[in-house]
Amino acid sequence: MKSYFPDLCQSFLKSLKAKYAAAALLLAAVMTGGVQAQTTQEPLNRTLDGYFQLMAQAPSPTDPSIFKEANAYWLKGIQGNHVSVARFFLLHAADNWVFEKKQSAGDYAAIEVHFNTATYNKPWRTRFELAKVGSDWKITDYEDLTIRPFDDSNAGPGELVEAYLNTMQAVIQDNQKFNPNNEQHRTRFYQSGAGFWSGTAIRALPLYLWLKQQNPQQPVIDSVVEQESGNTVTVRFARTKRQDQPVFIKLTVAKEQRRLYITSYENVAVSEQQAELAKIKAEAIEAVTATTVSTLTAEDLVRSQLEILQQAGPGMAQVMSQVIELSEPLWVSSKMARASLGRLIAIFTGLASSSANPEWKFESSGTTIIARPVNADQLGAFSALLKGIEFTHVQQEGAWKLSSATAFR
């Protein structure tokens, strides 16, 4: 009996849609005992070569004016992966393409195309799949195999970070290889991590902005420490645009689906500063909330207000809401009173830079109390700016309240 198995197999392969080209190749390999790499027919090469020349010669690879021509190269028109290919040319200034590893099964073919790019000193690998329609070949699919200028096969976390920093530095500092009309699209791509980062683009943005603003020089991998959450890579820069001394950053690197990715960024100096600010804030909150407030006399009222302001110390910016909350009951409810309290907060924010706190003496006259610093010579630059503060006070509902405060020189 005649076997119809080969005919059925061939018919099945021809009926598959373009997006299943990879599966068709695999099925053919199983049924025939393996598809060997072979030289595809010249029309296939001509299809890809013509398409790439269109991308390279266009005013911009993403220019809508070439959509009609590009449409003819794709089986489903430009609504296929044309936009991804155009974006690849746009971002990497791809040229000098070479056809490699060609495979075919009936009317379907797959081929690797290697490009030279502006951001990698090795061939950038891509993969195209095509289907034969009559005597022509049409592109059905495209895949970026390299993704980012880094080879995971023989490198570790330190090398990944180094490759990322070198890539970013080249792109930020040397834009001559790229079309200036496409700067906005390119910036958006590199802001999002350029394939080196895992997760959402927002993770990569702070480091991109820091690199662009600070222009750090001479990066050196200082250490690589293995942790449960991933490898922590510490980078030392010899200097930056604004700082002529070593600067350190830390990047966390983890493996996802057999590739290494950067997952987080930390500026060591900023982290230390934030920790110091958190300590100052905690101490200021404790000091401010522990302040004893007395309104038995007008002088006690003024003294209490000054004590609240002084206890905030260098943490005034961090505990301003607590200072206002504790101070407001000492004042009448008026626009002038709120403005006076605001001016006092500004004065004492400046005084916090002094190594000494003011020590006050009080002069009373009717509804006015003047507070003068007796240790003005210890207040640095503020000794010439702050000769005293004049408070006015009133009795309201049986209690003393401040109504205004004016500093004078």
Domains and CATH numbers, the chain: 5-144 (3.10.450.540), 152-272 (3.10.450), 291-408 (3.10.450)
Amino acid sitting at position 104: S
Note if the pTM is more than 0.85. no
Query: What residues contact 289, with CB distance under 8 A and at least 6 apart?
Result: 322, 326
Residue-wise burial string across 232-257, b where 16 or more C-beta atoms lie within 10 A, e elsewhere: bbbbbbeebeeeeeebbbbbbbbeee
d(CA 21, CA 242): 54
Chain segment 279-329, per-residue pLDDT in tens: 777 877 787 777 778 888 899 999 999 998 888 888 888 888 889 988 999
- Amino acid 263: pLDDT: 92
Reference 43, options 104, 95, 85, 125; nearest CA is: 104
- Amino acid 261: pLDDT: 93
Cβ atoms of 110 and 118 within 8 Å: the answer is no
Reference 41, options 118, 116, 130, 141; nearest CA is: 130
- Amino acid 377: pLDDT: 72
**Which ranges of the chain have pLDDT less than 50?**
1-41
